[in-house]
Amino acid sequence: MSKNSSKKQLITVVGPTAIGKTAMAIQIAQHFNCPILSADSRQFFKEMRIGTAVPSEEELQAAKHYFVQNISIFDTYTVGDFERDAIALLDELYKNHDTVVLVGGSGLYIDAVLKGFDDFPDVKSGVREELVTQYNLHGISYLQQELQRLDPEHYKNVAKENPQRLMRALEVCISAGKPYSSFLNIKKNSRNFTPIIVGLEAEREVMYSRINKRVAIMVDAGLIDEAKTVYPHKHLNALQTVGYRELFSYFDGEQSLDFAIEEIKKNTRRFAKRQITWFKRNEATKWFNFKTPHNIVINYIKEQL
């Protein structure tokens, strides 16, 4: 009988991009004979395989995956939608499994499943589109200044170099006529599972080297051609992301290809730093060096059951 026999377990694997989360999650899922839920918000989209490092066909066959390339860049899909869908799926999966694996680098989406998401008002039609237009015209400084004006409290805590986070807060401020921060922490949902969270990490120089290598592999695998196929839709929310925006600037003639690739590496490294900062806030996470043999991580998990 487990310590938490009244509840199921959600084994959650977190960490920065390119650290080896997919491989570790598959090893864990195979050991416990259970499925995997992806919480990598960029891997949801069918049209973005290479630039989001979607698991290979072999990896997808090694364990049942959910929320991988399940929607289109033309679909509107929020973190609230993901919370609703993930919790509903977990309710179904727990009928046949005591354990499920959750893996991903999108901290907001991980938290939405583990803790529940704050209840925000609906965004008015056209608000996000206008913010994207202003961002493309005036850059990130426009978003920063607007959020500082509309919600100085949230501005103090937000990732100021992340346009997605800035636009998300602004669209709530504009739609509701109230600060984004006023909707935070109003409610938290109870969960019928116990989370066991493991994190993978590496020294910064090692992490940066792995990121640079992954970008080079993506380019060799056809990232430029993939970006060209979605370039006509570059205004879409899903494409306002590292690995694609830099190439769109190249296609627009604003920078050379070599420069664009170096920018992808640099912006991915910045993204990884933000991921680490986010995940380190959760003191319940047990951290392992990314080279730790999977059986040691699995033994730790079994001790928590």
State which amino acid sits at residue 130. E
Give yes or no for residue 159 having a pLDDT over 90: no
Are the CB atoms for 138 and 166 separated by under 8 Å? no
State residue 157's pLDDT score.
86
State residue 1's pLDDT score.
32
DSSP for 27-45, written as a single string: HHHHHHT--EEE--GGGGB
pLDDT tens by residue, 220-230: 999 999 999 99
pTM of the model: 0.80
State residue 186's pLDDT score.
64
Could you tell me the strand order of the sheet in which 8-14 lies? 65-66, 36-38, 99-103, 8-14, 193-201, 286-289
Residue list for the binding site? 15-22
Residue list for the binding site for substrate? 17-22
Listed range (135-149, 173-187, 195-209, 246-260) with the worst mean pLDDT: 173-187
Cα of first residue to Cα of last residue in the chain, in angstroms, is 9
Q: What is the mean pLDDT of residues 70-95?
A: 94
Greater confidence (196 vs 124) lies with 196
Burial class (CB in 10 A: 0-12, 13-18, 19+), 148: middle
Reading the block at residue 284, the tokens are 């319940």
Listed range (40-44, 112-116, 149-153, 261-265) with the worst mean pLDDT: 112-116
State residue 5's pLDDT score.
40
- The structural domains of the chain, ordered by start, are 8-117+189-304 (3.40.50.300), 127-183 (1.10.20.140)
Adjacent-strand bridge partners of 193: 8
Reading the block at residue 259, the tokens are 């420069």
Q: What is the 3-state secondary structure (H, E, C) of 72-106?
A: CCCCCCCHHHHHHHHHHHHHHHCCCCCEEEEECCC
pLDDT tens by residue, 267-301: 999 999 999 999 999 999 999 999 999 999 999 99
At CB < 8 A and 24+ separation, what contacts does 126-132 make?
Answer: 127/171, 127/174, 127/175, 128/167, 128/171, 128/237, 129/235, 131/167, 131/170, 131/171, 132/167, 132/235, 132/237, 132/240
Residue list for the binding site for ATP? 15-22
